[in-house]
C-alpha cells in the first residue's frame, strides 16, 4: 500500500486565495472585513480592520515595516572596521525599532559618510535606495487601490445607513399605526362594554318589575316556556304556586301606598332569599305573585310554601312610625300537566288560592 502524502499546511492568506476573495473588488473585501469582525465580535478599530482586511485579501500589509527584507540587506553590510561595525549596528538598531523615520535617519547618515565606508557601503546604500524606491512605488500603487476600496466602503456604509434609516422610519410608522389601532381597539372595547351594560339594563327593565325586581309578566311568560320545554324533554314534575298577600287593600288604606309598596318589596326579598336557585319568582299583578318550582311534586311544593310562610312571619316589617306589622299570604298550588297550556295551570292555581282565602287566609292549598 502506498502511504498517503502528508497534507501541507496552508500558508498565511491561503484561505482567502483559495476562496477567490483576493480577486474581488476592494469594496467587497471591505464588506467581508466588517462582516467577519462582527461575527468574531472584534472591535472595528483601524488596526483590527487593517489586519483583517489584508488577511481576507491574502496579502501582507504593504504599509507594515519590512523587517525581513531590511535584515537581509543588513546581513550584507561590511563589518570589518570599527566604523563599518558602528554603521551596521546603527542600521540593525533602526530595523529593530520598526520605525520609518529612524530608518530614514540612519540611511541618510550612511549616505553622508559613505566616503569613509568604501565601495561596499556605497553599493549597499544604492541597493537599499533602490529597494526603498521600489517599495515606495508599491506602496503608492497599493495606496491607490486601498483608496478605491475605502471609497467603495464609504459608499456601501452610506447605503447601509440609508437602509437603516428607512427601516427605522418604517418601524416608527408601524409603531405609530399600532398605537393608533390599539387606542381605537380600546375605545371600541369600552363602547361595546357600555352597549352590553345598557342592553342588560334594558333587558332587565323589559323582563323585571321595576318596583320589586321580580320578573314581570313578560319575564314570566319566557320562564314558563323555558321550564315547560325542559320538563317535556327531561320529564319530572313542574309545579306552579300563585300567592296573594292577605288584607292588602286594608293595609294600603291604613298605612299608605308607599308602605304597601315597601311590603311588596319585603315579600319579594323574603321569597327570593328562601327559595332554591332554580326556582322563579314573578309579580303577576298587584299583590299577586307566581312561583315556578321545577322538579317538584305537589306535596314537596306544599312544604316549600309552608316554609315560606314561616320565614315571612320571622322577618320583621315595620311601618314608617316604627309599628311592627304582620304580613301573611294565601297560596294555591297545582302541577302543570304535560301538553297543558300555562294559562290553564295558572287558573287552577288561582282557584286553589281563593279557596285558601275562604278557608281563613294564611293557608296553602293544592288544587285537586
The catalytic residues are 287
Contact between residue 149 and residue 27 where contact means Cβ atoms under 8 Å apart: yes
Q: In the numeric block, which cell numbers belong to residue 24? A: 474581488
Q: In the numeric block, which cell numbers belong to residue 251? A: 293595609
Distance CA 163, CA 161 (A): 5
Distance CA 348, CA 343 (A): 9
Distance CA 163, CA 177 (A): 21
Q: Which residues neighbour 227 within 8 Å (Cβ) at sequence distance 6 or greater?
A: 238, 280, 292, 294
In our burial notation (b when 16+ CB lie closer than 10 A, e otherwise), range 43-81 reads eeeeeebebbbbbbbbeeebeeebeeebeebbeebbeee
Distance CA 274, CA 268 (A): 10
Selection from 364, 345, 350, 82 nearest residue 221 by Cα: 345
Phi-psi category of 366—alpha, beta or left, where left has phi over 0 and alpha has psi -120 to 50? beta
Q: What angle do CA 245, 246, 252 make, to 5 degrees?
A: 80
Write phi, then psi, for 361 (nearest 5 degrees): 70, 170
H or E segment to which residue 289 belongs: strand 288-293
The DSSP output letter for 62 is T
Amino acid at each position: 500500500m502506498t502511504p498517503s502524502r502528508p497534507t501541507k499546511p496552508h500558508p498565511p492568506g491561503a484561505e482567502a486565495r483559495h476562496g477567490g476573495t483576493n480577486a474581488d473588488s476592494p469594496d467587497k473585501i471591505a464588506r467581508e472585513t466588517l462582516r467577519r469582525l462582527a461575527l468574531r465580535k472584534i472591535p472595528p478599530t483601524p488596526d483590527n480592520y487593517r489586519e483583517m482586511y489584508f488577511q481576507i485579501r491574502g496579502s501582507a500589509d504593504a504599509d507594515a515595516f519590512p523587517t525581513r527584507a531590511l535584515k537581509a540587506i543588513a546581513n550584507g553590510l561590511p563589518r570589518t572596521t570599527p566604523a563599518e561595525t558602528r554603521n551596521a549596528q546603527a542600521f540593525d538598531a533602526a530595523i529593530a525599532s520598526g520605525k520609518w523615520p529612524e530608518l530614514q535617519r540612519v540611511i541618510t547618515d550612511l549616505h553622508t559618510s559613505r566616503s569613509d565606508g568604501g565601495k561596499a557601503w556605497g553599493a549597499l546604500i544604492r541597493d537599499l535606495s533602490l529597494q526603498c524606491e521600489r517599495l515606495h512605488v508599491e506602496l503608492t500603487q497599493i495606496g491607490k487601490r486601498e483608496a478605491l476600496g475605502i471609497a467603495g466602503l464609504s459608499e456601501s456604509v452610506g447605503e447601509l445607513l440609508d437602509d437603516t434609516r428607512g427601516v427605522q422610519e418604517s418601524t416608527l410608522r408601524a409603531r405609530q399605526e399600532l398605537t393608533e389601532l390599539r387606542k381605537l381597539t380600546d375605545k371600541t372595547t369600552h363602547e361595546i362594554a357600555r352597549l352590553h351594560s345598557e342592553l342588560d339594563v334594558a333587558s332587565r327593565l323589559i323582563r323585571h318589575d321595576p318596583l320589586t325586581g321580580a320578573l314581570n309578566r313578560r319575564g314570566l311568560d319566557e320562564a314558563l316556556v323555558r321550564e315547560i320545554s325542559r320538563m317535556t324533554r327531561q320529564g319530572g314534575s313542574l309545579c306552579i304556586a300563585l300567592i296573594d298577600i292577605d288584607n292588602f287593600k286594608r293595609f294600603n288604606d291604613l298605612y299608605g301606598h308607599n308602605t304597601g309598596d315597601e311590603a311588596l318589596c319585603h315579600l319579594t326579598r323574603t321569597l327570593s332569599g328562601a327559595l332554591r336557585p332554580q326556582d322563579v319568582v314573578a309579580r303577576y299583578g298587584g299583590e299577586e305573585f307566581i312561583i315556578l318550582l321545577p322538579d317538584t311534586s305537589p306535596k314537596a311544593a306544599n312544604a316549600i310554601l309552608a316554609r315560606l310562610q314561616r320565614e315571612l312571619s320571622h322577618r320583621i316589617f315595620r311601618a314608617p312610625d316604627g309599628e311592627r306589622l304582620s304580613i301573611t299570604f294565601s297560596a294555591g298550588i297545582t302541577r302543570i300537566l304535560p301538553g297543558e297550556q300555562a294559562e290553564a295551570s295558572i287558573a287552577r292555581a288561582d282557584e286553589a288560592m281563593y279557596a285558601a282565602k275562604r278557608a281563613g287566609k294564611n293557608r296553602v292549598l293544592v288544587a285537586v
